Structure 1
Amino acid sequence: MFKKFFSKNTTIPKTIELKAYASGTIVKLEDVPDPVFSEKMMGDGIAIEPIEGKIVSPVDGEIIQVFPTKHAIGIKTNNGVEILIHIGLETVAMNGEGFNAHVSQGEKVKVGDVLVTFDLELVKEKAKSTIIPIIITNTDKMEKIEKPILSGKVQAADQVILTASVLNS
């Protein structure tokens, strides 16, 4: 019985690594040209200026939301970290034009699975910015959030761009 209890509690890690969810250049969240993100109103994170129109899962987890306009997606990890990936700024006004979701709510995903593809040139033309913030929305449940890369180029699903440690419950 003790062995069963012990192994059950050791399967969910306290700290999770988030890999790059797009290929491009890292941008500090404070430098995102939208106060909702730069002032961390929704939570803490980082952003990527993309070089292609493809978003992949940064973690193993479950899709908890695909916005009807497909410009944003929510993921929850096994240890409870809730993540929002927001493609571009003011892209909600595009009403889904140029966006294609490859996952749906409730679906399990692994690091590197394609979540959304989008027409980068159309976003450049119609939105305020192509920058893609990733936000940990439940920061109140985090003990620590670290950003090992604060600048430079990243490749989707390669580099760890954030780590999040969940508070002990």
Structure 2
Amino acid sequence: MLKKLFGKSVTEEHFVSPVNGKAVPLEEVPDPVFAEKMMGDGIAIEPTDHTIVSPIDAEVVQVFETKHAIGLKTEMGLEVLLHIGLDTVNLKGEGFDTFVKTGDKVSAGDKLVTFDKAFVEANAKSCITPVIITNYEASEYTLEALFPEQAIAGETQIFQVKKK
């Protein structure tokens, strides 16, 4: 986190998995908007669970009305999008419960959303959950992704971002 330590700023942030599952490169997400990184860079998780937690200490800047996505902003200024599933906006919030609101401060591991995994699997394209840095600029930051076979929500590091 970006914290003042003896007058200095730390300029890297570590992200943990927002859900239990397998981490995969964005290029493997079956949606070109994510796979071609049109929204930004990051990683995706193929969930084995139904609880989404915060991947980092941040402020909640957006809870989508359809509950399928949450926007966060970190202390370093990174804008993070957690997008639960593909084409889940069409579910109009059905199958999702949120536990935060805009303006809330969250810590890594805090519960944000639960979803009915069976319902989403039956009614949407996929449950895959991209974690995107929407304001990622390769000229300003470096992103080092890790791809754990079994990521544990709130514990397993999935990537880090460093300010250049």
TM-score computed with the length of structure 1 as normaliser: 0.90
Kindly name which structure, 1 or 2, has the bigger radius of gyration based on alpha carbons.
1
How many residues are paired up?
Answer: 160
Partner of 1:59: 56
Task: Determine the C-alpha separation between the residues in 2 that align with 1:56 and 1:142.
Answer: 27
- By how many angstroms is 1:36 displaced? 0.2
Residue aligning to 1:35: 32
1:151, CA displacement in angstroms? 4.5
Query: Are 1:109 and 2:106 counterparts?
Result: yes
- Name the structure where helix makes up a greater proportion of residues: 1
Equivalent position SS for 1:125:
helix
Q: Quote the residue 1:50 is aligned against.
A: 47
Cα distance in structure 2, aligned partners of 1:54 and 1:26: 16
Q: Which runs of 5+ in 1 are unaligned?
A: none
- Which structure 2 segments of 5+ residues have no match? none
Q: Displaced runs of 4+ in structure 1, greater than 6 A?
A: none
C-alpha distance after superposition, 1:51-90 (max 9, x if no partner): 1111000100100110000000011111111110000000
Q: What is the distance in 1 between the residues matched to 2:43 and 2:31?
A: 13
| Residue 143 of structure 1: how far off its partner (Å) | 1.8
Q: Normalization by structure 2: what TM-score?
A: 0.93
Cα displacement (A) at 1:34: 0.1
* Structure 2 counterparts to residues 71-90 of structure 1, below 5 A: 71-90=68-87
1:93 paired to 2:93: no
Q: Percent identity, please.
A: 47
